[in-house]
Amino acid sequence: MGKMSQFPHRRWNPLRQSWVLVSPHRTQRPWQGEIGQKAASSGVRYEAECYLCPGNKRAGGERNPAYSGVFAFVNDYSALLPDSPAPERDEGSPLLKAEAARGLCRVLCYHPDHSLTLARMTKAEIRPVVDAWAEQYKELGAISWIEYVQIFENRGAMMGASNPHPHGQIWSTGFVPDEPAEETRAQREHLALTGQCLLCSYLATERARGERIVFENEHFAAVVPWWAVWPFEVLLVSKRHAGAMPEFTHEERDGLADGLKRLTTRYDNLFETSFPYTMGFHQTPTDGKDHAEWHFHAHFFPPLLRSATVRKFMVGFEMLGMPQRDITAEGAAERLRECSEEHFWPGA
């Protein structure tokens, strides 16, 4: 990187075809802003008031079964509904445009133990979650009007999680949302221009250089992307060109479970806290079109910047101008590489 890593510069994100501003000289500025609370596990394996624990009544009134593994259900407060009437058209201006948005939203509980997170689950416990994600993608994607299946997790109160029970969400939509739509366009254009998969080429570049690779296993690589916006953002990429989880072999699913365990453990160890993040899988749209360009990957967007209590805020210039980060991607990758894969909490 040389001198560029010491001074402000812009980096290109080929997946979104947009720029990010990097300002590494700002890392030394004093902080007198908000100080959050350090997150810690309560150690409570069953919470009587938790609407996701086995056997408990949910907020919508339904009662959970006494599940012992993964458990999926329709979200009691879904952001999208399968039948949504078209909004009334405003004939006064073509700028006031709206259309119906249909979808199906589900919740997936990873484990009956209320105290766990992906970081504190074993690889053997994460593996059935991978299978459940694959089945949900396949089942929802087979519905004729579903064009995209977005699997994601908000971990921690700092990222808006309403319940600490280990769980994620699955929003399947009758349209392709903006972020995967942008990635579809970028990957398709790159394939048409070069004859090569964008992420296959990008991963080969990162593996050759090594400075932004956090770790690898046989089937996946974790890299702080060149264009990272969040301080310790990570892209988890399959080494084989595959578009979605159902395409993975048994061994590749094992590799994904291993990658998720290793990455989330390193996150927790970085500041010795239950590390908050938003994580999601980007997979082939289920709109019935040919998507040879699509390459499976997971985005991890964690907000912590300096410690377990100081976060990165996306405000001001980020909201009005363009994304900006202080820590270089290379520096973030180095710090994550230095983290142990043995969890700092006893028994985790």
Question: Residue 264: what are its φ and ψ, rounded to 5°?
Answer: -65, -30
Q: What type of residue is 215?
A: F
Q: CB under 8 Å to 202, separation ≥6 — which residues?
A: 14, 237
Chain-centre distance for alpha carbon 47: 26
Chain-centre distance for alpha carbon 301: 6
Question: Residue 81: what are its φ and ψ, rounded to 5°?
Answer: -125, 150
Best CA proximity match to 305, nearest among 36, 16, 88, 85: 36
> Is 167 a residue of the active site?
yes
> Parallel, antiparallel, or unpaired: how do β-strands 18-22 and 324-325 relate?
parallel
Q: Residues 111, 114, 167, 343: which is the catalytic one?
A: 167
Question: Residue 20: what are its φ and ψ, rounded to 5°?
Answer: -130, 135
Q: Are 62 and 76 in contact (CB under 8 A)?
A: yes
Q: Are 139 and 106 in contact (CB under 8 A)?
A: no
Residue with tokens 């964690």: 302
DSSP run (H or E) holding 132: helix 123-141
- Enzyme catalytic residues: 167
